[in-house]
Chains A and B, each alone.
Chain A
């Protein structure tokens, strides 16, 4: 049974990376971290919209605008994980992280506090650029998957990450424009 589970996990993990031949792309949906029926936040932004956004960012948003010029895809999934699958999900997440590392990704942060908690932040670098950024979080009743693809300049990304307000206030703003739950 354990072997069957492992094989299943490996097969599912195999479809995780480079599905679109795009360095930095990770098909985070295929991990199944978030219960599809209970997705709380789903963001899927690609080329045209990001370019439009970049050209509309100016002034105090210069860093965001600059970064948006350099990214081609932003995918976010937030919500509760499927009920009763925590152990399998943790295993799946670990296999996926190992596989990404095998593909050249660097695990920058990794936290394993509890049996049902796993946090992994990975980056894919090419020369002096960051081609992909992936965040995978499984924290009890919440799961998060983020994948950002592009050719990001580290100093711009650093300034942006450092300047962002608290997640709560941005989430409230997001709820305001999408009608998403708190």
Chain B
């Protein structure tokens, strides 16, 4: 009998990012998940990796200034022309290179300011996740209860303005038909 080699923590942690990104092959994924099932430490690492992925998704997309590319190209062209005029002396090229660097630095500073302005307040980030969690909890409870009751899209029952009428209809349906396991009669509003 061939005994399958179990994956260690080092190998598992190396593959966590690929795992949460869904980039592992089936066999490798199974090996990592098998290790995670028995290793609380690596499970915590996976949770961190998931949180990191979520946090990265929160970062705003940066739009560089529209003229950045053109300014860099212009600086490069100027430097090239200067080289042609003055021969290929590398020592004399530095002012143009410095000019290009200044353009890049200025653009970088603009980007940083833009980023600082658009980065969300940590308290807001936390509040957003908390409120999302609250509603995910509601949705999850509905889904779980809906699965128990054998019903689809139970959430719609909450949001239907005529939930009372719907509940009464459901109760009539349950009385007439076969009730799903665990679902008790629902009162109308």
Evaluate contact between A135 and B138: CB separation under 8 angstroms: yes
Evaluate contact between B139 and A164: CB separation under 8 angstroms: yes
Evaluate contact between A64 and B131: CB separation under 8 angstroms: yes
Contacts of A111 in B (CB 8 A): 145, 148-149, 182-184
> What does DSSP make chain A's interface, helix, strand, loop or mixed?
mixed
Does residue B156 face the partner (Cβ distance < 8 Å to A)? yes
Q: A166, A171, A172, A173: which has the most chain B beta carbons within 10 Å?
A: A173
- Whether A178 touches B47, Cβ cut-off 8 Å, given contacts A123-B158, A154-B160, is no
Closest residue of chain A to B188, judged by CB?
A: A106
Does residue A18 face the partner (Cβ distance < 8 Å to B)? no
Other A-B pairs, 20, CB within 8 Å; known A49-B124, A171-B133 = A49-B123, A52-B127, A53-B131, A64-B132, A101-B187, A106-B163, A108-B163, A109-B186, A111-B182, A111-B184, A119-B141, A119-B144, A121-B158, A125-B164, A133-B138, A158-B156, A174-B130, A175-B51, A176-B51, A177-B55
Size class of the A contact interface (CB-based, 8 Å)? 35 or more
Q: A-B pairs with CB below 8 Å: how many?
A: 187
Evaluate contact between B133 and A174: CB separation under 8 angstroms: yes
Contacts of A22 in B (CB 8 A): none
Closest residue of chain B to A104, judged by CB?
A: B189
| Interface residue tally for chain B (C-beta within 8 Å) | 58
Does residue A144 face the partner (Cβ distance < 8 Å to B)? yes
Evaluate contact between A74 and B189: CB separation under 8 angstroms: no
Contacts of B135 in A (CB 8 A): 148, 160-161, 164
Q: A53, A105, A125, A146: which has the most chain B beta carbons within 10 Å?
A: A53
